[in-house]
Amino acid sequence: MAAVLITRIFSLFILFSISLSLFPLSAVSSSIHDLLRSRGLPAGLVPKEVRSYTLSDNGRLEVFLDGPCMTKFENRVFFDSVVRANLSYGSLSGVVGLTQEELFLWLPVKDIIVDDPKSGLILFDIGVAHKQLSLSLFEDPPDCKPQGFLKDHVRKEKGFFEALR
């Protein structure tokens, strides 16, 4: 009886050890921001308000936010409630769910690439143009406000400036 118990405990220990080697606890509990850093991208590419994310074996990344929101890097940026992209080392390609304001136009971000981290630059492909920004803008995950909050804030600012006329 004792030998059977010892054998079962030993078997459980072996299974637990194998599962930890296949799925380390740090990988299971890591944040999207840690994942981006491990893949050569800055953590601040996605906002703090990420609810969860999935990463498939083929590199397909889905990031789930609490809802659509806006933040600002160099210009205003709009995140849909789900942002999808193909993640490889140093790049997010085929981005869907992220748009950036350029000269009063909202343009979809197609790709985000860090070719050489030593350069201190990150490239945003917005379809009609490529925009290089400083990596320092993306060191920390930004706060992302719901779209309605920003519209109200802009309206208040316009009212203030109109009052100055």
- Helices (H), ranges, the chain: 2-22, 25-29, 32-38, 147-164
3-state secondary structure at position 112: strand
The verdict on residue 44 lying in a domain is: yes
Q: Answer for the pair 40, 89: CB distance below 8 angstroms, yes or no.
A: yes
pLDDT confidence of residue 144? 93
The angle at the Cα of 34, spanning 30 to 37, to the nearest 5 degrees, equals: 155
Q: Across residues 120-148, what is the average pLDDT?
A: 90
pLDDT confidence of residue 13? 43
The verdict on residue 39 lying in a domain is: yes
Give the pLDDT band (50/70/90) at residue 88: very high
Report the CATH number that the domain containing residue 145 is assigned in CATH: 2.30.240
Name the residue range of residue 91's domain. Answer: 31-164
Tokens (6 digits) for 105:
């136009």
Q: Across residues 80-97, what is the average pLDDT?
A: 97
pLDDT tens-place string over residues 148-163: 554 544 444 444 444 3
The verdict on residue 8 lying in a domain is: no
The verdict on residue 86 lying in a domain is: yes
When divided into structural domains, the chain yields a total of 1
Q: Answer for the pair 97, 118: CB distance below 8 angstroms, yes or no.
A: no
The verdict on residue 26 lying in a domain is: no
pLDDT tens-place string over residues 107-124: 999 999 998 888 999 999
CA nearest neighbour of 119 among 100, 133, 102, 103: 133
